[in-house]
Amino acid sequence: MINRNHNTLIDTNFNFRGQVSKYTGKVRDVYFLENDTLIVISTDRLSAFDIVMPRGIPFKGQILNQIANKMLKETSDIVPNWLISIPDENVSVGIKCSPFKVEMVIRGYLSGHAARKYKSGDREICGVSMPKGMIENDRFDTPIITPATKADKGHDEDISKEDIIEKGIVSEDDYNIIENYTYKLFKKGTELADKKGLILVDTKYEFGKSRDGRIMLIDELHTPDSSRYFYKNTYEELQKKGKPQKQLSKEFVRQWLIERDFQGLEGQALPEIDDHVINNISNRYIELYEKITNESFQKGNIENINLRIEENLKKYLVN
């Protein structure tokens, strides 16, 4: 059983050689170095409904980082990406890009946020029509792209392709490129998941432009924080019976919070996340890692994660 004294990576405060600035996201800490280089540290922070939970999840950052890096390598033939090196279990080093201020969310099934909107009576999301007569977790005939604005703080918001272009958030030419990449990446992710007995239900991709003008895939890829997976062998049976799908994603955290009347809305109190819940979440993340990679998860040394990262990055930056 994981207890409160386990070492988790919640905050970082490094000062690397050539460091220019630092950005703290919901889960990742990003260090900007000279020569258009980024150091991205995946922490053990857990966010849900755009709220960072008060306790970290052991090994979560390592799992996210390692899954994302495997997936970036698997898809590098489809779209160039930012990754250069992985000097530590929780760390990726890559190329600095100017990010597009949208997340390209793509959905193959009526799940999560889309299902909640559907239940409320909406039949359109981000300007895309959803068929009548669907039930939660039904498959769309073809995947739909439902973009969201990328918020530094607070909630991301749904936005249509037309509004993105009209407001100049992304040019029409660039949007068409990242839209095409999104469909291709989802197709590849679906094929990779299928080989592991999983269904890639929905996911999000983020893109940016390098200094030389190349559009690149940035951030994480096909991790449980950015994606939802169902088990393939039980999908049809559970769907016919109208039962919830067994899934490997962060959705189980959201559902746990919803059951306790928390969705990040004003006036709602965050329920206590005790050791049992922390242990369960950590095990679910490990389960997804092992399922999607077909590898046993090798736990990193967590006695002093900050020190481990600092030492590994010092070695890397000297070379």
Domains of the chain: 19-98+253-318 (3.30.200.20), 100-208+221-249 (3.30.470.20)
What does 114-158 look like in DSSP terms, one character per residue? HHHHHHTT--EETTEE--TT--TTPEEEEEEE--EE--SSS---B
CA atoms within 13 A on the CB side of 36: 12
Q: Output helix, strand, coil percentages for the chain, rounded to the nearest 5.
A: 35, 25, 40
1 pLDDT above the threshold of 50: no
pTM for the model stands at: 0.86
**Per-residue confidence at 69, pLDDT binned at 50, 70, 90?**
very high
3-state secondary structure of 233: helix
**Per-residue confidence at 272, pLDDT binned at 50, 70, 90?**
confident
208 pLDDT above the threshold of 90: yes
What confidence score (pLDDT) does residue 292 get? 86
What confidence score (pLDDT) does residue 107 get? 98
Q: Which amino acid is at 92?
A: S
Where is mean pLDDT largest: 4-13, 147-156, 175-184, 247-256? 175-184
**Per-residue confidence at 3, pLDDT binned at 50, 70, 90?**
very low
> Can you tell me which residue has the tokens 């990679």?
293
- Six-digit token string for 20: 């220019």
Total residue count of the chain as it appears in this document: 319
The count of other CB atoms within 10 Å of the CB of residue 189 is 25
Q: pLDDT tens digits, residue range 215-258?
A: 999 988 998 888 999 999 999 999 999 999 988 777 778 888 99
* Residue 125 CA from chain centroid, whole number: 20
The percent of residues above 70 in pLDDT, for the chain, comes to 97
β-sheet bridge partners, residue 47: 52
What confidence score (pLDDT) does residue 144 get? 98
pLDDT, average across residues 68-85: 95
pLDDT, average across residues 288-315: 92
Q: Which amino acid is at 251?
A: E
Mean pLDDT in the chain? 92
